[in-house]
Amino acid sequence: MLHNKFKYLINILGFALLLPCGLTQAETMPKPIQEMLDNGATLIKKFAAPSQLNGWVIGKNGRYTIIYSTPDNKTLLAGDLIDEDGNNLTETYADKYLPKPDLAPLYEKLEKSTYISEGTQGAPKSVIYVFFDPNCPFCHFAWKALQPYEAVGLQVRWIPVAYLMETSTGKAAAILQSQDKLATFRENETQYNLPKHEGGIKPVKPNAASSKQLQANSALMHEFGITGTPALVWKDANGKVQMKSGLPKLKELPGMTGLPEQQIDDPELARFQ
pLDDT value of residue 118: 98
Q: What tens digit of pLDDT does each residue of 45-101 get?
A: 999 999 999 999 998 877 788 999 999 999 999 888 989 888 889 888 988 898 877
Answer for the pair 91, 230: CB distance below 8 angstroms, yes or no. Answer: no
* Integer CA distances (angstroms), 26 to 43, 113, 162, in order: 15, 47, 42
Write the burial class of residue 55 (CB in 10 Å: 0-12 exposed, 13-18 middle, 19+ buried).
Answer: buried
User: Given pLDDT bands bounded at 50, 70 and 90, which one contains residue 27?
Assistant: low
Please give the Cα distance from 233 to 241 (Å, whole number): 7
Residue range(s) occupied by CATH 3.10.450.70 in the chain: 4-97
User: Given pLDDT bands bounded at 50, 70 and 90, which one contains residue 8?
Assistant: very low
Fold of 104-272: Glutaredoxin (3.40.30)
Residue range(s) occupied by CATH 3.40.30.10 in the chain: 104-272
Answer for the pair 174, 167: CB distance below 8 angstroms, yes or no. Answer: no
Please give the Cα distance from 245 to 222 (Å, whole number): 12
Task: Please tell me the pTM assigned to this model.
Answer: 0.71
List the Cα angle 261/266/270 in 5-degree steps.
80
Fold of 4-97: Nuclear Transport Factor 2; Chain: A, (3.10.450)
With residues binned 3-state (H G I as helix, E B as strand, rest as coil), the percentages for the chain, rounded to 5, are: 35, 20, 45
